[in-house]
Amino acid sequence: MQPWLWLVLAALRGILAFQEAPALVQVLSHQIGSLPCQMKSFPSNARLYWLRLHQAPSNGSYYDVLAYWDSGKKTTIYNAGVTKEKLTLLQDMTKSTLNITNVTPADSGIYSCMTVGSPKLTFGKSILLNVVDVLPTTVQPTRKTTKKKMCRFPNPVTQKGPACSLITLSLLVAGILVLLVSLGVSMRLYCLRRRARLHFMKQFHK
């Protein structure tokens, strides 16, 4: 591997903790894991590298080069310990796809692509490969159907004749009037009797 590439990979260690969350790709064991890498542009003189992150993203993490596409030779160059039976690169003008055959849980991890041009570097969005034995299923919650209760309003009852409150009020007023009349009559009789008594006493003492 070129010495300058080691410097690039070492510089990546300082920015791993600030990368955006990788895209999740879940694949069943012993299947083919296809990891797409989208690029806005792919210069004709650039090389596209596929990298794998060792350990969780932190200051101690580092990328390991798996393979790269040589646009000049139109061929894939594999790093030591990587075989074309395990990894396959599909390349076009704006997209690169890394196919990993017969995946196992050991292949799970964060993968990323990088183009090295003249003079700039361009990084694609990282991909989190998760190899599982059974794909998770989303259980839809059961919805309970509740019957709407109908509110029944009481039927208004039409009253015939005067209302009860009006009759009660009339009786009360009549009772008060009778009481006042009786009190007036009693007071009048008391006054007449007192006058008669006083007149009788005057006549008796003469």
pLDDT tens digits for 100-115? Answer: 999 999 999 999 888 8
Report field, pTM of the whole predicted structure over 0.85: no
Residue range 13-31, pLDDT digits in tens: 444 434 567 889 999 999 9
Read off the pLDDT of residues 119-157 as tens digits, 9 standing for 90 and up: 677 788 889 999 998 887 765 666 666 666 665 655 655
Which candidate, 139, 110, 113, places its Cα nearest to that of 40? 113
Q: Judge whether 56 and 78 are in contact, CB under 8 Å.
A: no
DSSP 8-state class, residue 156: P
**For residue 143, what is the DSSP state?**
P
**Euclidean distance between CA atoms 142 and 180, whole angstroms:** 78
